[in-house]
Amino acid sequence: MPDSVHWVTGTIAKNIARFNPWIEATIASGPVIDTIFAERPDLMKNFDLVHFLCPYASKEWLPRFRDAIPCVTSHHHVTDWELIKHNAEGDSIIVGSPEWADDLRARGVDTSRVFCIPYGVDTDLFQPATIEQRRSIRRKLNLDASATVIGFFGKNSSNDDDRKGIDVLTRALISLKQRIPSLTALIIGPGWQQLSSELVSAGVKCIWIPFVAELEGLAEMYQALDFYWITARVEGGPVTLLEAMSTEVCCLTTSVGIAREIVRDGENAVLLPFNDPRAFAERTDLLAANQRERQRLGCNARQTILREMKVSVTAKGVRSAYAKAFENFALRQHSSAQFRADDMTGAAAGDAFANGGDRVAALNGFPQAVHKRVRMLEKLAWCEHLLLYHKQPALAVRMAVKEWWLNPLSPLPLRILLRRLLPVSVVARVVKLKNGRQRPLMRSNLDALL
């Protein structure tokens, strides 16, 4: 259960399904689960285990599933423990790096239930571009061939307490502009209007793309870069560091998450102190003048990823975590564990992804008759995210119109459009009335808004 099939936890879920053919996976976000199970509560019986990749949806659904089947939770990172402490109740808990395993240990969580499984990266997709491919991508982005391009990818709604260090990123880019006149920032992800405007006002050329729908398109964005920066203070991965390193981009990063494990300063990337924009500007300036050193760091970075972080290897680590969940569930239920992955032949999900099938989600636990509706609900939930939290109304409206065209008999896409066209006060009143007739919802639960 990711936060969205269209964002990073959705990609993690798809990789688990793709590289573990013994799993017959169903990938659906919290808002969609709310809707489908409200209509068909009997479908909850179709599942043998649930893995909460979204740490917020589990607040509601972990207690509801916990007495019926084994539950796995994911502990990505912490900015406010009170919001996510319920995930410590998982039968097993998956972390993306040792930093967060140590965090759980310090909080008194039984470490026998904690499994460190790096998120990994698809090295076949995120790979270096040829010289001509790079030129072509830069032309499409209106990037000068001689420009020094620095990338930052993420979504603003994930930047709670400025954990991604946007203040450092901004000050470093503005400082570096004084040293490198051709400097360009490539920002990918929704919600960065203010960042983009601030950079442009300071004279930094900024190309901001709110949303890249397909991973293939995202891989191209890395191929256009000279540098990738991680200025974050708190990260679970970061997945973007793995993707950039896999693409042979020269990376500069703080010591967050998996960077502590895979980055060897001066060998495959550059490690820099927290809260130090000057360090980012100065090291980038030196490397911008030394193409051979940049290429050496990038080449070594990809070799590190190929050895240690290929998702086809890391994703298989869930087998142990899931086995432990069955074991602990059996102890709680005073029964015998029933986990026999070696005997399972559920290759449907893995085959679908391997053969270029449904890239939205595997849906083996749902009847075929509801698959189209589930896919529509995932799109519309993402539309609501774009409207409410990312300030991307134009993109959300285009997506809603497309879903209306594909599902003309459903009133749900029309509701999204009406939310955009009606006055805010009217929409707020309608939502308040509707919510008053339903159970209280979490912020991540968008069902009431659909």
**Predicted pLDDT of residue 341:** 58
User: What mean pLDDT comes out for the span 303-314?
Assistant: 97
**Predicted pLDDT of residue 59:** 94
CA-based nearest residue to 90, from 321, 378, 255: 321
Distance CA 399, CA 395 (A): 6
Distance CA 17, CA 25 (A): 6
Q: What is the pLDDT of residues 216-237, one digit of tens each?
A: 999 999 999 999 999 999 999 8
Q: What is the percentage of the chain residues whose pLDDT exceeds 70? A: 88
Q: What is the pLDDT of residues 52-88, one digit of tens each?
A: 999 998 999 999 999 999 999 999 999 999 999 999 9
**Sheet strands side by side (includes 50-52):** 50-52, 71-75, 92-95, 114-116
**Predicted pLDDT of residue 337:** 65
Cβ contacts of 403 within 8 Å, gap of 6 or more: 376, 379, 380, 383, 410, 412, 413, 416
AA letter at 52: F
Strand partners of residue 205: 184
Q: What is the percentage of the chain residues whose pLDDT exceeds 90? A: 72
CA atoms within 13 A on the CB side of 131: 2
Cβ contacts of 368 within 8 Å, gap of 6 or more: none
Q: Which residue has the higher pLDDT, 168 or 413?
A: 168
Buried b (16+ CB within 10 A) or exposed e, 395-434: bbbebbeebbeebeebebbebbbebeeeeeeebeeeeeee
CA distances 18 to 86, 188, 346, 448, Å, are 28, 26, 11, 32
Q: Which residue has the higher pLDDT, 115 or 400?
A: 115
**Predicted pLDDT of residue 414:** 81
Judge whether residue 354 has pLDDT over 50: no
Judge whether residue 349 has pLDDT over 90: no
**Predicted pLDDT of residue 64:** 93
**Predicted pLDDT of residue 434:** 58
**Predicted pLDDT of residue 449:** 26
Angle (CA) 381 75 377, round 5°:
10
pLDDT band at 1 (very low <50, low <70, confident <90, very high): very high
User: What mean pLDDT comes out for the span 367-393?
Assistant: 86
Strand pairing class (250-253; 270-271)? parallel
Cis bond before residue 210 (omega within 30° of 0): no
Whether the CA torsion 333, 336, 342, 348 is positive or negative: it is negative
User: What mean pLDDT comes out for the span 244-262?
Assistant: 97
pLDDT band at 372 (very low <50, low <70, confident <90, very high): very high
Q: What is the pLDDT of residues 419-437, one digit of tens each?
A: 666 665 665 676 566 556 5
Distance CA 190, CA 395 (A): 10
Strand pairing class (114-116; 183-188)? unpaired
Whether the CA torsion 246, 248, 253, 255 is positive or negative: it is positive
**What are the φ/ψ torsions at residue 120 (nearest 5 degrees)?**
75, 175
CA distances 227 to 70, 148, 185, 241, 249, Å, are 43, 8, 10, 11, 6
**pTM, whole model, 2 decimals?**
0.88
Is the Cβ–Cβ distance between 33 and 53 less than 8 Å?
Answer: no
Tokens of residue 264, six digits: 């060897």
Average pLDDT, the chain: 89
Q: What is the pLDDT of residues 381-404, one digit of tens each?
A: 888 877 777 777 777 888 888 888
